[in-house]
Structure 1
Amino acid sequence: MRTIVGTPSGTPAATSKPRPSCAGADPELFFAHALSTLQIERAKAICATCPLMASCLDGALERGEEYGVWGGLTEDERSSLKRRAARGHIASAA
């Protein structure tokens, strides 16, 4: 079974660090092969409550995550964000 976030076995999670809202959630909600609109809405609702949402999205963009909901965005939304950012960099370089 795929996990989203975990701690090494036998290691208690540090209480001073924020925990992602997806910890303990069913990974299929975020990574099902064909996400339904309801699954996407439920995954995004979990992301919206997460103190690590921005860093999750940044990490997904850096790693080139192709599938699933990361940082509150679907793969299509992340692709669109990358395209807009690339156009912005090209325009600012001219």
Structure 2
Amino acid sequence: MRTASCCFGTGVYYYWRRVPKTVASLDERAPFIRQSLKTDDLAKARGQRDILEGADNLLWASMLGEDRKSEAAATAHNHRLSAMGGAAAYQAPVCDQPNTAT
């Protein structure tokens, strides 16, 4: 089942999603994400939902992976900001040590 935007009594759509158990201890929004999409337009809500869904997938993948965690988290954060009409402002911290993972 695909993550869907839900319309509660106010007529405004929401992004509603369960945080996967594998990252629930790492994501402060667990066990559920519920975020207003601040629109009553279904097409716009679906577009924003898709962006947030992709950003959350990137974020959770970065929590499980070893390589480029901070860069993936920054990308996910910026996607979430863009979906909500904000400017991408977060940049991953610069690491002084080279990545030696092979």
Normalising by structure 2, report the TM-score: 0.26
Q: Under a length normalisation based on structure 1, what TM-score does the superposition of the two structures give?
A: 0.27
Higher RCO, Cα 8 Å, sep 6+: 1
Q: Give the structure with the larger strand fraction.
A: 2
